[in-house]
Structure 1
């Protein structure tokens, strides 16, 4: 793994990906680093589309994980 890539912040990595999109090895390494930084977050609909019980359950589950 390229140490220079691991020292880049996410914005710099996205720029690097854009500039090296035709270099399969460089692109793959940068993408791997960028994706490894992404936390495994759940996607929820906007709160305006959820009822109170659903929102409360999400918060309770989140608090119990810590």
Structure 2
């Protein structure tokens, strides 16, 4: 028997989802667990409604976060 979904790592969950791709219930439960772990939930407007400078500032900020 496999361990509970909540105890699986993200890699294990992705593997489990791959194995359960034809089982809609199992796949959905695993996907919910994986999505619930997402840390950064910042929402941005659609890029075409933003100026080039706004989009550039977002990318520069993200790059800085990654490199710190």
TM-score w.r.t. length of structure 2: 0.56
Query: Bigger relative contact order, structure 1 or 2, given CA contacts below 8 A and separation 6+?
Result: 1
TM-score w.r.t. length of structure 1: 0.58
Structure 2 gap segments, 5+ residues each: 45-54, 63-68
Q: In angstroms, what is the RMSD of aligned CA positions?
A: 2.6
Number of residues paired by the alignment?
Answer: 47
Structure 1 gap segments, 5+ residues each: 44-48, 60-66
Task: Detail structure 1 runs of 4+ shifted over 6 Å in the superposition.
Answer: none
